[in-house]
Amino acid sequence: MEQRIQISPSDFLTFKSSQQKTHSNFKILNNSENTICFKIKTSSPKDFLVTPITGSIFANSESSISVSFVGPPESVNKGQKFLIQYAMCPEVSQVDWRSKDLKEFKLLTKFIQVEESPKEEKVQFESPSVRESVYLEAEEEKSKEESLILEEDMKNITMRNRDLVSQNDKRKAEIDNARHKLKFSRDSDIALAETASKYGMPHLVIMFFVGLLIGYYVLG
């Protein structure tokens, strides 16, 4: 009978034990004509992070599984295992993962020691200065942004002051104009009173109508 799924790699998941946090991955290939649902278990759940831990794979398709080792150094090469359970089902929620009818596939783990190259050591040696340079650049950029904000605020304050000065000058001109009109009105009243006392009311009436006629012909 043809195997419904294939696991690649089919024997070991390999991790680099020289790294504090190392990763590996494997693929699940669905060779059947139906949708396969899967669930992944490990004998050391505190040492490994699996993504995704459950899922479904359409017919003649595959899914890539990422596995990260997050355990302490003393957990390296402790014979950890992975169990891949699968069943033919359209949705993961419909699978009873405690059922004895589930199909299973096992993967072992293997940690290998990898020596760091001189190039990697150099990068690690220079990393503090690199971090300091990045920090200084970030601070410089922050200072530039604050300076721009301050400059923009100063421009707004200057424009506001100009508006206030302009409004003040306008109100001052209006007050001066009102004072001038008031003074002219008072002077006119005084002149009228003096004329009335000098010529009498009949002369004023004649002068008033003469002024109207002159204004009519000039403006007409």
- pLDDT tens, position by position, 34-86: 899 999 999 988 888 999 999 999 999 999 999 998 888 778 878 889 999 99
Mean local confidence (pLDDT), 174-202: 73
Tell me the pLDDT band of 27, cut-offs 50, 70 and 90.
very high
Question: End-to-end alpha-carbon separation of the chain, Å?
Answer: 118
Of 82, 88, 111, 84, nearest to 18 by C-alpha is 111
Structural domains of the chain, with CATH: 5-112 (2.60.40.10)
How far apart are the C-alpha atoms of 65 and 38, rounded to whole Å? 11
Q: What are phi and psi of 83, to 5 degrees?
A: -120, 120
Report whether 92 contacts 54 (CB < 8 A).
yes
**What strand order describes the sheet that includes 36-42?**
12-16, 103-112, 81-88, 36-42, 54-57
For residue 88, the model assigns a pLDDT of 86
Strand order in the sheet with 22-30: 5-8, 22-30, 62-69, 48-51
Tokens of 38: 């899967």
Q: Is the pLDDT of residue 125 over 50?
A: no
Average pLDDT of the chain, as a whole number: 78
**Whether the Cβ atoms of residue 53 and residue 149 lie closer than 8 Å to each other:** no
Report the distance separating Cα 158 and Cα 90, nearest Å.
70
Check whether 123 has a pLDDT greater than 50: no
Cβ neighbours, 10 Å, residue 53: 13
pTM of the predicted structure, to 2 decimals: 0.48
Percentage, residues of the chain above pLDDT 90: 19
Q: How far apart are CA 3 and CA 177, in angstroms?
A: 103
Comparison of pLDDT for 212 and 37, the residue scoring more: 37
